C-alpha cells in the first residue's frame, strides 16, 4: 500500500503554491479569505503571485515553493492555486526521496494531474484529485467541500465514492475491477507519455476527465493512450465529465465512450462528477479501490489519510 499522509484537522496550516499558470493576486487573496473561514491557517509560497506569460515564473522557482512546503513543519497540506499549464516542468526539480520521507496531503486537478501521479509513482504517496484554491468561493457547491473535507479527514474503509444526489454514475461494461486509482485530466495524462513520469496503468483503475476539447480531439488522445498500452494494461476505466467538449462530425462525448471505450471490454463506469465539472468528487490517486461496472459503483478499500500512530 502507498503512504498515507496525516489527516487534516481544524486549525492546521495549508501551504499555498502556484505550480503551473498564474492566477490574479486579487483572486488568490479572495480564495484565501474563504479558506481561512473554514478554520485553517495559510502559508504562502514565495512565488505564489509570480507571472511570466502563461507560467507562474520559472519551473525551478515553482518547484522550490513546493519543496519548501514539504519541508515546513507547520504545513500539513499543500494546495495549488490552480492548474493551467506547466506543472510537468517542475517534476525534474523535485526531490521525491525527500517527499517520501515527509508525506503531506496534496490536492488538485487539471494540469496538477501530472504532479499527483508523479507523487504516487516516484514517492509512493497518496494524493487527492480534488479541490484547488480557486474552488474556495461562496458559489462552490456544498457537495464539493463535503467531499474534500471527508477525503482529507476520514479513515473509514471501505467507503463509497458517491456523486451528488440526482446525478448517478452509469455502469457501461459489467465486471469487477480492483487496484489503485491513477490518471485524471486526459490532456495531462497523454502529455506524460514518453517521459520519465509516464503513468503506469498496469493493474490500475484509470480515471479520465477532460475539459473544452472537441470530441475528435478527445478521440485522438484516447487512441494515443490505447497505442501506448495504457488502456489494455488497466483493470478498469472510470470516466469523468468532459465539460464543454462539443460534438464533432455529429459524434458526442457519450457516443465516443460507447463506440470506442466500451468495446475494449474493461469494467467501465461513466458520469463520475470530477475535475472541471461543477461537482467535484474527491478521488485519492494511489489508493486501492474496487469498481463494479454492472452496478455503476466505486468504493475506496483504504483511506487516503491516517492519524498519528496509524500505519
Spell out the domain ranges in the chain.
13-151, 159-300
The pLDDT of residue 6: 98
Mean per-residue pLDDT for 173-178? Answer: 98
Mean per-residue pLDDT for 21-48? Answer: 97
Tens-digit pLDDT profile for residues 243-292: 989 999 999 999 999 999 999 999 999 999 998 999 999 999 999 999 99
Q: Are 107 and 127 spatial neighbours (Cβ–Cβ below 8 Å)?
A: yes
The pLDDT of residue 1: 82
Residue 222, all three cell numbers? 484516447
The pLDDT of residue 164: 96
The pLDDT of residue 133: 98
The pLDDT of residue 311: 72
> What confidence tier does 157 reach under pLDDT thresholds 50, 70, 90?
very high
Mean per-residue pLDDT for 2-11? Answer: 97
Element (H, E) at 298: strand 297-300
Mean per-residue pLDDT for 293-303? Answer: 97
Q: Are 279 and 144 spatial neighbours (Cβ–Cβ below 8 Å)?
A: yes
Mean per-residue pLDDT for 293-302? Answer: 98
The pLDDT of residue 9: 95
The pLDDT of residue 250: 95
Burial of 117 (0-12, 13-18, 19+ CB in 10 A): buried
Sign for the CA dihedral angle at 261, 186, 235, 283 comes to negative
Q: Is the pTM of this model over 0.85?
A: yes
* pLDDT > 90: percent of the chain: 97
> What confidence tier does 310 reach under pLDDT thresholds 50, 70, 90?
confident
Query: What residue has cell string 509516464?
Result: 198
The pLDDT of residue 270: 97
Q: Are 299 and 236 spatial neighbours (Cβ–Cβ below 8 Å)?
A: no
CATH topology of domain 13-151: Rossmann fold (3.40.50)
What's the CATH number of domain 159-300, 3.30.70.2190, 3.40.640.10, 3.50.30.60, 3.40.50.300?
3.50.30.60
Residue 135, all three cell numbers? 474552488
Least confident piece of the model among 131-135, 206-210, 290-294, 306-310: 306-310
Evaluate whether 13-151 and 159-300 have a shared fold.
no
Annotated catalytic residues are 110, 209, 276
The pLDDT of residue 20: 98
Mean per-residue pLDDT for 181-206? Answer: 96
Q: Quick check: 46 pLDDT over 90?
A: yes
Distance CA 155, CA 159 (A): 9
Distance CA 125, CA 108 (A): 14
Eight-state DSSP code of residue 21 = S
Tens-digit pLDDT profile for residues 99-153: 999 999 999 999 999 999 999 999 999 999 999 999 999 999 999 999 999 999 9
Amino acid at each position: 500500500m502507498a503512504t498515507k499522509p496525516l489527516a487534516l484537522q481544524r486549525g492546521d496550516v495549508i501551504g499555498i503554491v502556484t505550480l503551473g499558470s498564474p492566477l490574479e493576486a486579487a483572486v488568490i487573496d479572495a480564495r484565501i479569505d474563504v479558506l481561512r473561514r473554514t478554520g485553517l491557517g495559510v502559508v504562502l509560497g514565495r512565488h505564489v503571485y509570480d507571472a511570466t506569460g502563461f507560467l507562474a515564473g520559472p519551473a525551478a522557482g515553482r518547484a522550490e515553493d513546493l519543496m519548501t512546503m514539504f519541508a515546513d513543519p507547520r504545513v500539513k497540506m499543500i494546495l495549488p492555486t490552480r492548474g493551467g499549464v506547466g506543472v510537468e516542468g517542475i517534476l525534474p526539480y523535485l526531490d521525491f526521496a525527500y517527499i517520501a520521507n515527509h508525506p503531506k496531503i496534496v490536492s488538485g486537478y487539471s494540469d496538477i494531474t501530472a504532479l499527483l501521479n508523479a507523487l504516487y509513482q516516484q514517492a509512493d504517496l497518496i494524493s487527492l484529485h480534488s479541490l484547488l484554491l480557486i474552488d474556495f468561493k461562496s458559489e462552490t457547491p456544498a457537495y464539493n467541500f463535503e467531499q474534500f473535507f471527508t477525503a482529507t479527514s476520514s479513515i473509514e474503509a471501505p467507503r463509497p465514492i458517491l456523486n451528488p444526489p440526482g446525478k448517478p454514475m452509469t455502469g457501461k461494461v459489467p465486471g469487477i475491477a480492483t487496484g489503485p486509482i491513477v490518471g485524471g485530466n486526459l490532456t495531462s495524462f497523454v502529455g506524460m507519455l514518453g517521459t520519465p513520469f509516464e503513468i503506469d496503468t498496469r493493474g490500475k483503475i484509470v480515471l479520465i476527465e477532460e475539459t473544452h476539447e472537441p470530441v475528435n480531439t478527445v478521440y485522438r488522445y484516447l487512441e494515443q493512450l490505447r497505442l501506448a498500452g495504457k488502456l489494455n494494461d488497466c483493470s478498469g476505466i472510470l470516466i469523468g465529465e468532459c465539460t464543454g467538449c462539443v460534438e464533432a462530425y455529429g459524434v458526442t462525448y457519450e457516443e465516443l465512450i460507447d463506440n470506442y471505450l466500451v468495446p475494449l471490454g474493461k469494467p467501465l463506469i461513466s458520469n463520475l462528477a470530477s475535475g472541471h465539472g461543477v461537482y467535484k468528487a474527491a478521488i485519492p490517486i494511489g489508493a486501492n479501490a474496487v469498481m463494479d461496472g454492472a452496478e455503476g459503483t466505486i468504493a475506496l478499500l483504504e483511506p487516503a489519510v491516517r492519524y498519528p500512530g496509524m500505519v
